[in-house]
Amino acid sequence: MCGIWGYVGATDSIDVADAWNGLCALTDRGPDAWGMYVDGHGRVTDEASLPDGESAVAIGNRRLSILDLSAAGTQPMEYDGSWIVYNGEVYNYREIREDLRDLGHEFDSDSDTEVILHAYEEYGSACVERLRGMFAFVVFDADADRLFAARDRFGIKPFYYSHTDGRFSFASEVTSLLDGGVVERTVDPVSVDGFLTFGYVPGPRTIVAGVRSLPPASTLTYDRSTGDLDVERYWTPSFDSSDPETDLRDLLEETVSLRLRSDVPVGAFLSGGLDSSTIVALMREVSAGDRDDLHTFSVGFESDTYDESAFAETVAERFGTDHTSTVVGPADVRARLDDVVASMDQPTIDGVNTYFVSQAAADAGLKVTLSGLGSDELFFGYPTFETVARRYRAAKRLQTIPRPVRNAGGELLSRLGDAVDDHTIEAAGDAVAADSAFGAAYLSARGLFSRRARSGLLPETDRVRWDEHVGESVSDLLGATDDRNVVSDAELGWYMRDQLLRQTDSMSMAHSLEVRVPFLDVPLAEHVMGLDADDKAVGEKALLKDAVSDLLPLDVIEREKTGFTFPFAEWLRDDLSDVVTEATSADRLAATPIDAAAAADVRDQFLAGDRHWSRVWALTVLSLWMDEHLLVEDR
């Protein structure tokens, strides 16, 4: 796991000192070592040797040493005139390396980085089809003046870039592009509208104008001689029927076994729920007692209503783990809030819990943990699967009503929902007037602020029909598979990708911690996606429970699913109310796109007990984030 940063100029160049600043902004992602390839100077690995002046090419890496801890694994790595910088883990690197050795390749390290570089030289862009893991990497071919980049299939690892006529720049974090001076500190108002819609910034846009996210399962080629940029998708999730002879348990054991490949200890996040308990149980099962030092981590709260740490402790005792339960209260959030916001690469209403559990793992000396993330999206673990499918059927019927009638009805419902603070009614108003029946149904379950509410909060910004974007993203599946499979695809491509995976990456890497997600192993995911939707919908993830029932305690199997959330409502109304009030004040919002009066209305209604915490928290985070990263045009 690492951080990558780079600049390749077609006609422009960059001051090497600026490139160094951009790379230094990623130090938390890779505190163990660093390296930079500078055109005409080769690889530089100490600050004193950095050349003065400008260079047309500068690509660098901050290293978190996990595989091959020796200097042989240091990046950038060169082979036959090509240089690679890479963030992530390719778990089947040993198997790929053996295939390449059979073809005559020789290796100088035991790192997966070198394997990717040789695989690219052997197979070209098709090398990504062989990679099993999480990754974002760049190969710069100095002889051909061409850059090739790729991102893993689910978007577990981030990759951001900016492209102009004169240059191409990239990084693991949006904010490091700012610190490197390659983009202006200007907010993208459309992305702010997206953030208020979802509670996260939907890709491929980012909160910074002119910066984009490379979509998952995509490759990018930049021709330095022409300045041309080409992005291609190399994999698409499929819900075609799975092989009935494939055993789910075998796939689960294989994916966990692969993710235990490491030259440093591997721990696990453990909430006590089905998903994380399954991961811990399988870690014990496949390691055959070789990991007596298994360390697990959970977060508990200073609130009897929300504290579920006892469940995690029960599972930890069952599997004999060295368990750490961190108790978090409002005072802890206040004390760490500045760092929490600074750790957000883009604003999000999620991630505070991940911040604290990652901190606990890092404090224990770990560099790697496993997480149960991804199971809900594959095994229909959320109520949204049935809810969205049902609302989609209703929304399709509404499409037969003439547009003027739907517009009037939608406005009426939106006003009513706003008046009584009922998001379901507000969402129904949006759905009635929407062009995309599925997109409207999805936003009714996953949306934050309604279209009408956003009009008040962002009076100077044109509204985006996000329902159409959601609908378009799943258009090939609508009518071709079960509606609940379509919801699964949307969950994987929106909520999981842009909220869960993004915040997990940013909050864990703020503590120099790599989080691996076994449920998002491609063979396992493809198998589950291809299973019958009715089978996946039975009970609460009955298929998964059946596969591991012999490993887990009965109370884990029978326990109802609960969310892994903080008691934010009571904290924000009480101990942290001054934080909310200050962040949403007219003075703090004056230099942002947010209308202060509309924000004050949301805040005051929340403090009076009439609004859900997520909306006022979104405004609070946005204000704090923009202030932290100075993303305002007039500063």
Tokens (6 digits) for 44: 């530089």
Q: Do the Cβ atoms of 460 and 202 come closer than 8 Å?
A: no
| Annotated binding-site residue? 372 | yes
Spatial CA neighbour of 556 closest among 320, 277, 313 = 277
Paired residues of 163 in beta bridges: 168
> How far from the centroid of its chain's Cα atoms is residue 143's Cα?
34
Phi–psi pair at 144, nearest 5 degrees? -90, -5
Q: In whole angstroms, give the CA distance from residue 42 to residue 50.
A: 10
Tokens (6 digits) for 565: 């959330």
Verify whether residue 2 is a known catalytic residue: yes
Peptide bond just before 76 cis, omega within 30 deg: yes
* 133-141 vs 212-213, strand pairing mode: unpaired
Q: In whole angstroms, give the CA distance from residue 9 to residue 59.
A: 11
Q: Do the Cβ atoms of 165 and 7 come closer than 8 Å?
A: no
Tokens (6 digits) for 58: 């500068």
Give the H or E element holding residue 146.
Answer: strand 146-151
Handedness of CA 238, 239, 242, 246 (dihedral sign): positive
Q: Do the Cβ atoms of 573 and 620 come closer than 8 Å?
A: no
| Annotated binding-site residue? 439 | no
What are the Cα distances from residue 21, in Å, to 156, 175, 305, 570?
Answer: 25, 11, 45, 40
* Annotated catalytic residue, options 1, 2, 19, 441: 2
Please list the helix, strand and coil fractions of the chain in percent, rounded to the nearest 5, in that order.
45, 15, 35
Q: In whole angstroms, give the CA distance from residue 457 to residue 603.
A: 12
Spatial CA neighbour of 131 closest among 234, 238, 61, 212 = 234
Q: In whole angstroms, give the CA distance from residue 561 to residue 567.
A: 17
Q: What is the DSSP string of 219-268?
A: EEEEETTTTEEEEEE------PPPPTTS-HHHHHHHHHHHTT--SS-EEE
Q: In whole angstroms, give the CA distance from residue 635 to residue 627.
A: 10
| Annotated binding-site residue? 12 | no
| Annotated binding-site residue? 299 | yes
Spatial CA neighbour of 196 closest among 607, 598, 606 = 598
Q: Do the Cβ atoms of 128 and 139 come closer than 8 Å?
A: no
Spatial CA neighbour of 122 closest among 99, 140, 143 = 99
Q: In whole angstroms, give the CA distance from residue 382 to residue 630.
A: 36
Q: Do the Cβ atoms of 304 and 570 come closer than 8 Å?
A: no
Q: Do the Cβ atoms of 414 and 452 come closer than 8 Å?
A: yes
List binding-site positions for ATP: 299, 371-372
List binding-site positions for L-glutamine: 112
List binding-site positions: 112, 299, 371-372
Q: Which residues are catalytic?
A: 2
